[in-house]
Amino acid sequence: MKRGYGPLLVFAAIGLATGITLSQIACRTPASGPSTAAMNTLATHEGYELFAAHCAPCHGATGGGRGPAAIALSVAPRDFWHERFRYVSTLNGVPTEEDLIQSIRYGRRFGEMPANPQLTDTELRTLARYIREIQRLGWLDVLREEFAGDEDTSPDELEEISHIRVRPREPIHVARPERGFRRDLDTGRELYAANCASCHGLTGRGDALDKPLDEQGKPISVRNLTSGEFRGGAKVEEIFKRIRCGVPGTPMSAAVALTDEEVWQLVYYVRYLAGRT
């Protein structure tokens, strides 16, 4: 960290260390479109053309999620300016580059996001960095607005905070259950009733919350776990990540207090609810 940064940056750094996110000091609303400064920065990025060619039909020319094809979809494409990424393998709610590449390469089958087998590894990486840059510029716009007229906070400081905001932590280690682990439906059911049923319902149909909203205040549905449609992936490792890391931007928070063994019991219980063994 450079010298001379004010308390704001220190707060950001502490937030990162403790898992508190900057959302607590800045709430983003889709009403404010990207600034001209942000759009100019984006236009010089090497991912600009690629994005326009492959992603803009759904995610919109500027990445705001309102492309011409979006209305035909049953799931809204992500608004990269204002929404968080949901499929993460870290505990600070920020995806790793690999998380993003996976979403782009394989798509999100039950989320109406197509796979992109035609893109090279380099193109995938460029696109992952491009959409992360959109997120960063989205945060920067908010920070600039919030700290307009604040003489103690320099533009460099705001830039630095925006970088910190989109920096992932180390991904969690998803080790297979230790030897001696026994899948036990009764334990799974108890853990589920205590930690999950308040939203997903005891039967898993996702009907326990009255009018749930996402971070933007838009209606969202709690996933019906009996449908077998896992947008983040049905592999046990993926379900483990959803439970341990949460689904950022939605009411589902990270289950940090559970042990690995408890999370594994829940993974298998969720698979059981979905009729998979």
Residue closer to ligand HEC, measured from CB, 159 or 207 = 207
User: Both tokens of residue 74?
Assistant: 């049953």
Angstrom distances, CA of residue 132 to CA of 55, 80, 82, 129, 136: 14, 8, 11, 5, 6
| Residue 89 in the binding site for ligand HEC (CB under 6 A) | no
Interaction of residue 77 with ligand HEC, rule CB under 6 A: yes
Given 187, 195, 216, 226, the residue binding ligand HEC (CB under 6 A) = 195
Instruction: In angstroms, give the least distance from the CB of 153 to ligand HEC.
Output: 30
Binding status of residue 143 toward ligand HEC by CB under 6 A: no
* CA-atom Rg of the chain in angstroms: 20
CA dihedral sign of residues 113, 101, 168, 146: negative
Of the two residues 40 and 221, which places its CB atom closer to ligand HEC in the complex?
221
Nearer to ligand HEC, 160 or 188 (CB): 188
Q: List, in order, residues 6 or more apart from 15 with CB less than 8 Å away.
A: 21, 22, 24
* Tally of CB atoms within 10 A around 32: 13
Contact 99, 135 (CB under 8 A): no
How far is Cα 33 from Cα 39, in angstroms, rounded to an integer? 10
Which is closer to ligand HEC, CB of 165 or CB of 200? 200
Residue 186 Cβ vs ligand HEC, minimum distance, rounded to whole Å? 16
The yes or no reply on residue 81 touching ligand HEC (CB under 6 A) is no
Please state the closest distance from residue 57 (CB atom) to ligand HEC, in A.
5
Judged by CB under 6 A, does residue 174 bind ligand HEC? no
Q: Which residue reads 């998803």 in tokens? A: 174
Between 20 and 199, CB nearer to ligand HEC: 199
Of 27, 61, 73, 256, the one binding ligand HEC by CB under 6 A: 73
Of 55 and 143, CB closest to ligand HEC: 55
As given in the structure block, the two tokens for residue 215 are 């971070």
**CB-wise, 13 or 258, nearer to ligand HEC?**
258
Please answer whether residues 38 and 64 qualify as being in contact, where contact means their C-beta atoms are separated by less than 8 angstroms: no
Inter-residue contact 64 to 81 (CB < 8 Å): yes
Q: What angle do CA 233, 107, 42 make, to 5 degrees?
A: 125
Q: Is there binding between residue 196 and ligand HEC (CB under 6 A)?
A: yes
Interface with ligand HEC, residue 201, by CB under 6 A: no
Site string for ligand HEC, 96-135 (x = CB under 6 A): ----x--xx---x--xxxx-x----------x---x----
Minimal CA–CA distance to 9: which of 126, 167, 154? 154
239 binds ligand HEC (CB under 6 A): yes
For the chain, how far is it from start to end, CA to CA, in angstroms?
Answer: 49
Give the interface with ligand HEC as residue ranges (CB under 6 A): 54-55, 57-59, 69, 73, 75, 77-78, 85-87, 95, 100, 103-104, 108, 111-114, 116, 127, 131, 195-196, 198-200, 212, 220, 222-223, 230-232, 239, 242-243, 247, 250-252, 255, 266, 270
